[in-house]
Amino acid sequence: MNVLIFGLGNHKGGYSAARYYLSRGDSVRVTDLREEAYLKPDVDTLKRLGASFTLTRHDKSDFEWADLVIKNPAVAQNNPFLTMAKNISTDIIELCLAAGKRNNVHLIGITGTKGKSSTAHTIYHQLLCHKEKALLCGNIGISAFTIIDQVLQNRGDPLYIVMELSSWQIHDLYTFLPGERPLFHSLILTSLYPDHLDAYASTESYYRDKMLLFDFPGSHLFMAAQSIKALEDLNIPHPSNIRIVDSNSALITAVLTEFGLSEQSIRESYRKIPHLPHRKEIVRTTGKITWINDSSATIPQASDYSVRTLDFPYILICGGSEKNSEIPLFHDALTGASHLILIEGTFTRSRLLPYITSLALPFSGPYSDMTTIVKEASEIANRDGRKITVILSPGAASFGPFRNSDDRGRQFTECVGRLL
């Protein structure tokens, strides 16, 4: 079979897809608009395994050659090259098809603007703590192609597949999945806030893509009360047979009790669960300074929530690239900081910088490298002399200086680790 990977991606998705089909003896090509130097070392590895590449452009001939096109979630559905594809699929679609071939496989679909990663991470680890067989994949940074073989090799034991799904992944699943839709054991919506407005025409269209997940059959449906209000504010319908919960912790407990776990055993297992990186992650304490990596806060509301949980004065590292977020939603987080350190980016230049300048807030930057940012934060915090927190909670996307929000968080953690 001839397989074309349409977009290598920033989270190993295209790389995992290419390796999956290469391991099966298929002919694999990858097409991506970026240069080879940016995509190393993945390109080098895949070339050694037999893949070919079309880079810095897309060619019609590649799509005519392919029996199957694996679409990266970031590729827009109206991309004209998709009209040339004979068959279109994604990692999530292929996983759902594999799950349908095995009995006793339980799909758990989780989406939301914020909280979906931590919810998926916690449910997965709770299941493991209770000796259940479970796999984790999706937008959390784990390609479904890395677990399909484990699904196919499962022989009768209950297997739970926890999937964190972005709005684009849901839309692709809804649009391109062939045949009968799979039955989900649980469908979960953690929260809804305006996001990705650089890609969506409106908040309503973004919410409606999220709600496509609930067009799939599900035995147990859960939504946060905040999500219900967000939907009702825009007159977007939601299923009537849902269980409404007030918080993510209550949501997780509600889901797990449907698997027969007791609330007491769930509480006791929390201490065994590793912290999810880049989400209010305490990286280090140096003297009176606590360093927190909250790089996954990519909208102002997420940053605002994070800083409201801090006990001490804080220095906020923020800014980045544009998502058309509403700048007033950043107001409390910005004005509450003792100092702001700005990350270079289109959002920073066009809206964040003018806003904080108009309020005469103290700031440094914008800076485009994390070494300078962390050094500046250290010097300011040490001059302050108080017990203080330095938090990377950007409230914006990461593209430009960084490959993605995880890369931004990793660089922050590495730079803090090198401080004396």
Residue range 92-272 forms a domain whose CATH class is: alpha beta
H-run or E-run covering 39: helix 36-39
pLDDT of residue 311: 82
Residue with tokens 């350190």, as numbered in its chain: 341
Work out the angle at residue 316's Cα, subtended by the Cα atoms of residues 358 and 363, and round it to the nearest 5 degrees.
40
Superfamily in which the 2-88 domain is placed by CATH: NAD(P)-binding Rossmann-like Domain (3.40.50.720)
In tens digits, what is the pLDDT along the chain, a chain of 420 residues? 999 999 998 888 999 999 999 999 999 999 999 999 989 999 999 999 999 999 999 999 999 999 999 999 989 989 999 999 999 999 999 999 999 888 889 999 999 999 999 999 999 999 999 999 999 999 999 999 999 999 999 887 899 999 999 999 999 999 999 988 999 999 999 999 999 999 999 999 999 999 999 999 999 999 999 999 999 999 999 999 999 999 888 999 999 999 899 999 999 999 999 999 999 999 999 999 999 999 999 999 999 999 998 988 999 999 999 999 989 999 999 999 999 999 999 999 999 999 999 999 999 999 999 999 999 999 999 999 899 999 999 999 988 889 899 999 999 999 999 997
For the range 326-332, what are the long-range contacts, defined as Cβ-Cβ under 8 Å and sequence gap of 24 or more?
326/194, 326/300, 327/300, 327/351, 327/352, 327/355, 329/299, 329/300, 329/301, 329/304, 330/300, 330/303, 330/304, 330/355, 330/395, 332/304, 332/307, 332/308
Sign of the CA dihedral 321, 322, 328, 330?
negative
Residue with tokens 């923020």, as numbered in its chain: 318
The model's pTM is 0.92
pLDDT of residue 26: 98
Residues with Cβ within 8 Å of 272's Cβ and at least 6 positions away in sequence, in order, are 125, 129
pLDDT of residue 238: 94
Collapsed DSSP state (helix, strand, coil) of residue 332: helix
Q: For residue 183, what are its two tokens?
A: 């039955």
H-run or E-run covering 55: strand 52-55
**Domain limits, the chain:** 2-88, 92-272, 281-417
Sheet containing strand 388-392, edge to edge, reads 281-286, 289-293, 388-392, 314-318, 339-343, 363-367
Q: Which residues pair with 187 in a beta bridge?
A: 109, 221
* Residue 98: C-alpha distances to residues 105, 179, 279 (Å): 10, 13, 32
Work out the angle at residue 110's Cα, subtended by the Cα atoms of residues 209 and 298, and round it to the nearest 5 degrees.
70
Superfamily in which the 281-417 domain is placed by CATH: Mur ligase, C-terminal domain (3.90.190.20)
